[in-house]
């Protein structure tokens, strides 16, 4: 095990890395929130005591939302304020990677890992997004390091810390379960390779660490079971076949990498990292094949083992490894440029002055409602093809795909329009579906319902088109069109 030296020059170098990273990761900090961020802001806006119950509608564990709630109570809910926690987590990943790499594989590996953490495009993206993925990456780095120290290097004081980090990861994102599966497989490898006199202690430490995490997470298992049965991820596509290449490469590396280490313990650490990443990735892939739930951002849970493997591998190539790390860093720095994630803020501002208390906002993409509610006045009514929205700050994913399949404009939209008095206005918000990403079961159905509802409202003679707007330029995640209608006749006047 290596020790991390901390001279003044190292501290200055670390500050420079953090400064460069902060520059890269603040250029899109004030852009419009997109769908997922609106959901984060909406859930966090509720009292902390209500958040665990609300997540039965959402499908996520509670830790990030509770943290975001506490933060927004202090800092507010503007775009920058909502994203500052993610920025902080991403920047903290840099010293975490430096310590992890240096203490396990030596100073050179630590600095390569830290440099990668500073400019990794994945972290740059999620440092500027009000979601949990930057926090997941930080927990992954620290949890991986504690695992290696506690089990590969047999430094038992790290075992309780690993248990706490694993528990935090499980309560932050459900792919923490796949990290746990990978860690369990890596522990099994370490136990099988250990001397007989060490095996009992390793098994006991593993039982305590994984058992403690399991016991604490069991308090949430009933909610998880409900979410699995009723929420799912109907918007997700099957996992890419290309992920199998990564799984195979990590599995092959796990068989050969022990010979690369400068000591037996270091070789065991390398093999454990490969197994943790391989089994974790395989678990996510297999799960998504059974029930669609794959998204590249979920790979944040594997940032820890992959960063440390990269640092260890490149550090052993000597000057060539340093040059390769520098070249990769330059490419990553130049790869990222700020992009608007959504145009909801812009189009909402166009209609904001035309809407009055009690007017109706209809979003044909149900999950857009929380971000629309974030930007529009708070005395409006909201509806989607699923029906009237009781709480615009929360997207109710419970059996949403089944409900969306059965709804029709004449059943859901007509009563809403009939209930409006003459002079009321309807803001119709429709997603831009021409970007080629609308192939999942949910998104295909949203596109169909959007066409139906646009035709139904446009054909109602009681409503006159007052204003329409389309996105001025493409956005990275979602764009919407809006159309503002005014009701010129009551239901008693006929259609």
Instruction: Convert the pLDDT of each residue in 27-68 to its tens digit.
Output: 989 999 999 999 999 999 999 999 999 999 999 999 999 999
Beta-bridged to residue 382, according to DSSP, are 361
Cα(237)–Cα(109) distance, integer angstroms = 36
The predicted pLDDT at position 438 comes to 83
Write the CA distances from 215 to 157, 346, 489, integer angstroms: 20, 46, 61
Q: Would you place residue 493 in the very low, low, confident or very high pLDDT band (cuts 50, 70, 90)? A: low
CA atoms within 13 A on the CB side of 184: 14
Cα(136)–Cα(64) distance, integer angstroms = 9
Q: Is the dihedral of CA 282, 283, 288, 289 positive or negative?
A: positive
The answer, yes or no, to whether residue 490 has pLDDT greater than 80, is: no
The answer, yes or no, to whether residue 381 has pLDDT greater than 90, is: yes
The Cα angle at residue 488 between residues 486 and 489, in degrees rounded to 5: 135
3-class SS of residue 359 = coil
Compute CA 477 distance to the chain's CA centroid, rounded to the nearest angstrom.
Answer: 13
| CA-based R_g, the chain, Å | 25
Of 265 and 464, the structure prediction assigns the larger pLDDT to 464
Helix ranges (DSSP H) in 76-218 = 79-105, 107-119, 121-126, 133-147, 158-170, 176-193, 196-217
3-class SS of residue 464 = strand
3-class SS of residue 400 = helix
* 3-state DSSP percent of the chain in helix, strand and coil, to 5: 65, 5, 30
The predicted pLDDT at position 494 comes to 47
Q: At what angle do helices 176-193 and 133-147 cross, to 10 degrees?
A: 10
Mean pLDDT score, 375-383: 94
Of 339 and 250, the structure prediction assigns the larger pLDDT to 250
Are 183 and 276 in contact by the 8 Å Cβ rule? The answer is yes
Are 461 and 495 in contact by the 8 Å Cβ rule? The answer is yes
What does the mean pLDDT of the chain come to?
91
The answer, yes or no, to whether residue 186 has pLDDT greater than 70, is: yes
Compute CA 335 distance to the chain's CA centroid, rounded to the nearest angstrom.
Answer: 21
List the structure tokens of 413.
Answer: 């939209």
What's the pLDDT tens digit per position in 76-91?
Answer: 999 999 999 999 999 9
Residue that the structure tokens 């949890």 belong to? 143
Q: Would you place residue 425 in the very low, low, confident or very high pLDDT band (cuts 50, 70, 90)? A: very high
The answer, yes or no, to whether residue 261 has pLDDT greater than 60, is: no
Cα(220)–Cα(215) distance, integer angstroms = 10
What's the pLDDT tens digit per position in 193-226?
Answer: 888 889 999 999 999 999 999 999 999 999 999 9
Q: Which residue segments constitute the domains of the chain, with CATH numbers given?
A: 8-335 (no CATH), 344-493 (3.40.50)
- Closest CA relative to residue 296, chosen from 60, 486, 442, 121: 121
Mean pLDDT score, 306-334: 86
The predicted pLDDT at position 3 comes to 52
Of 398 and 259, the structure prediction assigns the larger pLDDT to 398
Cα(86)–Cα(78) distance, integer angstroms = 14
What's the pLDDT tens digit per position in 434-480?
Answer: 766 788 889 999 999 999 999 999 999 999 999 876 666 667 778 89
Of 3 and 212, the structure prediction assigns the larger pLDDT to 212
Mean pLDDT score, 254-261: 70
Q: Would you place residue 491 in the very low, low, confident or very high pLDDT band (cuts 50, 70, 90)? A: low
Write the CA distances from 68 to 14, 212, 220, integer angstroms: 27, 26, 19
Q: To the nearest 10°, the Cα dihedral for 107, 113, 115, 117? A: -150
> For 11, phi and psi rounded to 5 degrees?
-65, -40
The predicted pLDDT at position 416 comes to 93
Q: Is the dihedral of CA 118, 124, 127, 132 positive or negative?
A: negative
The answer, yes or no, to whether residue 96 has pLDDT greater than 80, is: yes
The answer, yes or no, to whether residue 492 has pLDDT greater than 90, is: no
The predicted pLDDT at position 119 comes to 94
Mean pLDDT score, 131-148: 98
The predicted pLDDT at position 241 comes to 87
Q: Which residues contact 339 (CB under 8 A, 6 or more apart)?
A: 28, 31, 475, 476
- Closest CA relative to residue 386, chosen from 406, 371, 368, 370: 406
3-class SS of residue 304 = helix
Give this prediction's pTM: 0.94
Residue that the structure tokens 């943790």 belong to? 276
């Amino acid at each position: 095990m290596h020790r991390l030296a901390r001279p003044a020059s190292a501290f200055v170098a670390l500050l420079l890395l953090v400064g460069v990273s902060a520059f890269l990761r603040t250029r899109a900090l004030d852009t419009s929130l997109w769908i997922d961020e609106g959901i984060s802001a909406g859930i966090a806006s509720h009292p902390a005591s209500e958040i665990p119950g609300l997540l039965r509608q959402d499908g996520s564990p509670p830790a990030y939302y509770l943290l975001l709630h506490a933060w927004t109570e202090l800092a507010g809910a503007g775009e920058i304020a909502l994203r500052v926690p993610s920025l902080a987590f991403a920047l903290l990943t840099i010293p975490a990677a430096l310590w992890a790499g240096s203490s396990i594989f030596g100073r050179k590996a630590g600095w390569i890992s830290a440099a990668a953490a500073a400019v990794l495009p994945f972290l740059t993206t999620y440092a500027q997004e009000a979601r949990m993925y930057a926090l997941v990456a930080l927990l992954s780095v620290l949890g991986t390091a504690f695992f290696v120290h506690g089990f590969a290097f047999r430094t038992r004081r790290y075992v309780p810390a690993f248990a706490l980090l694993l528990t935090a990861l499980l309560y932050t994102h459900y792919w923490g379960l796949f990290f746990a599966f990978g860690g369990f497989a890596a522990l099994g490898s370490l136990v099988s390779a250990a001397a007989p006199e060490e095996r009992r202690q390793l098994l006991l430490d593993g039982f305590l660490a994984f058992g403690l995490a399991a016991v604490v997470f069991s308090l949430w298992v009933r909610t998880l079971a409900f979410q699995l049965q009723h929420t799912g991820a109907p918007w997700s596509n099957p996992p890419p076949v290309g992920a199998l290449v990564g799984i195979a490469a990590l599995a092959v590396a796990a068989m050969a990498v022990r010979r690369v280490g400068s000591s037996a313990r270091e070789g065991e650490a390398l093999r454990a990292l490969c197994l943790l990443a391989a089994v974790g990735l395989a678990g996510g892939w297999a799960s998504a094949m059974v029930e669609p739930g794959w998204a590249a951002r979920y790979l944040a849970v594997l940032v820890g083992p992959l960063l440390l493997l990269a640092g260890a591998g490149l550090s052993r190539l000597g000057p060539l490894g340093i040059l390769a790390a520098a070249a990769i860093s330059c490419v990553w720095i130049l790869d990222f440029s700020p992009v608007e994630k959504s145009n909801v803020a812009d189009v909402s501002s166009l209609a904001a002055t035309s809407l009055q208390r009690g007017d109706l906002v209809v979003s044909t993409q149900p999950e857009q409602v929380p971000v629309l509610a974030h930007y529009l006045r708070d005395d409006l009514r909201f509806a989607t093809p699923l029906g009237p929205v009781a709480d615009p700050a929360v997207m109710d994913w419970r059996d949403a795909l089944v409900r969306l399949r059965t709804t029709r404009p004449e059943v859901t939209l007509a009563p809403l329009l009939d209930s409006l008095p003459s002079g009321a206005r309807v803001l119709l918000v429709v997603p831009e579906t021409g970007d080629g990403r609308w192939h999942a079961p949910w998104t295909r159905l949203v596109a169909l319902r959007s066409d139906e509802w646009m035709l139904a409202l446009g054909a109602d003679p009681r409503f006159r088109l007052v204003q329409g707007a389309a996105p001025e330029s493409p956005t990275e995640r979602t764009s919407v069109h809006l159309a503002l209608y005014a009701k010129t006749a009551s239901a008693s006047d006929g259609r």
